[in-house]
Structures are given as C-alpha cells and as structure tokens.
C-alpha cells in the first residue's frame, strides 16, 4: 500500500507570493491533517479535512487555507507569504478520526526569501 | 490549557544502554497519548499509542511506554538502544487535534 505522498518536496518562494502544497493520502483514508514544523514553534496543527469539509482548525491566520477533493487528496494554500512561513509542512492521513493512527508524509520544505 | 512537555531537549546514550524519554501533559481528562519518531529528512512514524486499558503499552522497534495518571506522564522506554534509534522523538496528546511536545533529540554513541 502506497504511503502518504506530498508534492513538491522542496519549494522556494519570495515574500508576498502565494504557494500551494499537495497531499495524497493513503488509499481509503478520508481524514487529512496538515502540520507546520519549525525549529522555534515545533509541530503545530494547521487544520484537518474529512469528506471535503474542514473539521478542525488550529490557530493560524486566514492566509493559511486548505481544501479536500472527493478522492481525499488535499491541498493547502498560503497567501502573501512571510519569512516566518518558512517551515516543513507535513501532511498526515488517517482512516476516519484524528485519533486513528495518523500516517505522515515526508513533508514539503518551504523556504521564503 | 492543553499542552505537552518534553523536558529533555537532547539525550545521549551509548549503544546497548537503556533509555527513558520523559513526557508530561496537561489536559482536563485522560487524552489519547502518542509517541512518534522522526528521522532526518523523514516524516513522523508512530511508535505507540494509548487510549485506555493496560497502562503499559508496547510499540514497534522494541519501545514501550507507561501511562501514569497521577503524574500526568507517558514516558517512553527501551531496554537496549541501537544506533539506528538516533532520531527525534515527539510525544503528543490527541483531543480534537494532535498537540505535540517540542521533541527530544536522541544521539547514540557506539
């Protein structure tokens, strides 16, 4: 069974631009969560999608948004990039609920210059 | 407020030695508890989880963790560390989302 895949793996953007990251969950998984990992703040929950609906949301500004498609693939978008958005963005999928075993992808490393 | 504390930022052990990584949490009830491991350049891998029942939980790669309600702790242990265990370890609680601790970096000397 293929694992969680994230594209692209690396991304370099400049301040003010926007970016879209993609996540393909494990086949059959309906819940997709996104996390931001930085050296200063650690791992922080961004949001969770289930059946194309945002089910949970962390404490991030509205510049961070996401969506989920009918095949459970998910995208997250960050608009008006700031230097502080440089981070590893991790996607995780689980069968149904957030507390089922979450399987993480390798992440997308975003660098904002 | 819900939070997870991993008091040890960095731990160094010799290969073959025992290991204990500490984790304390703050939550109004008993949350779901998790330990994840992250190797360089990789995503997180679940080592074990606790929802209810037996407070001693067995995981993959020879790890175990013990839930102690009175101490709000969920410490991770391994009787004999291998060089391949060098990685960063994260404790997390699950409520409506996963809340992670800041991680403990484990270094293993041969």
Paired tokens of A7: 């594209």
CA distance A3 to chain B (A): 11
* pLDDT single digits (tens) B3-54: 999 999 999 999 999 999 999 999 878 789 999 999 987 789 999 999 888 8
pLDDT at B40 (0 to 100): 83
Find residue A31's DSSP bridge partners: A50, A94
Q: Do A106 and B42 touch (CB under 8 A)?
A: yes
Cα(B2)–Cα(A69) distance, rounded to whole angstroms? 31
Q: How far is B109 from chain A (nearest CA, A)?
A: 24
Q: Which residues of A touch B90 (CB under 8 A)?
A: 43
Chain B residues near residue A99 by CB distance under 8 angstroms: 32, 51, 94
pLDDT value of position B94: 86
Q: What is the pLDDT of residues B40-95, one digit of tens each?
A: 877 899 999 998 888 999 999 999 999 999 999 999 999 999 999 999 999 999 87
Burial A7-36, CB ≥16 within 10 A → b, else e: eeeeeebeeeeebebebbbbeebbbbbbbb
Beta strands in B1-110 (DSSP E): 3-5, 10-14, 19-21, 24-26, 32-38, 44-50, 56-58, 64-68, 73-78, 87-94, 98-100, 104-109
| pLDDT tens-digit readout, A7-62 | 999 999 999 999 999 999 999 999 999 999 999 889 999 999 999 999 999 999 99
User: Among partner residues B41, B42, B90, which is closest to A43 by beta-carbon distance?
Assistant: B90
């Amino acid at each position: 069974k293929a694992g969680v895949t994230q594209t692209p793996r690396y991304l370099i953007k400049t301040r003010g631009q926007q970016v879209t990251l993609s996540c393909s969950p494990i086949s059959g998984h309906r819940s997709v969560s996104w996390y931001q990992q930085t050296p200063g703040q650690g791992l922080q929950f961004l949001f969770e999608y289930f059946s194309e609906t945002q089910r949970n949301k962390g404490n991030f500004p509205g510049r961070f948004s996401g969506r989920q498609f009918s095949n459970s693939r998910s995208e997250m978008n960050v608009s008006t990039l700031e230097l502080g958005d440089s981070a590893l963005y991790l996607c995780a999928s689980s069968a149904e609920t957030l507390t089922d075993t979450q399987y993480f992808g390798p992440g997308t490393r975003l660098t904002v210059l | 407020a819900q939070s997870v504390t991993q008091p040890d930022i960095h731990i160094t052990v010799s290969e073959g030695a025992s290991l204990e990584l500490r984790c304390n949490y703050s939550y109004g009830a008993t949350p779901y508890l998790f330990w994840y491991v992250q190797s360089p350049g990789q995503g997180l891998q679940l080592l074990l989880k606790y929802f209810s029942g037996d407070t001693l939980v067995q995981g993959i790669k020879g790890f175990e963790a013990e839930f102690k309600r009175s101490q709000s702790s969920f410490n991770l242990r391994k009787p004999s560390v291998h060089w391949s265990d060098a990685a960063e370890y994260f404790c997390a609680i699950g409520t409506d989302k996963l809340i992670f601790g800041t991680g403990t970096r484990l270094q293993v000397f041969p």
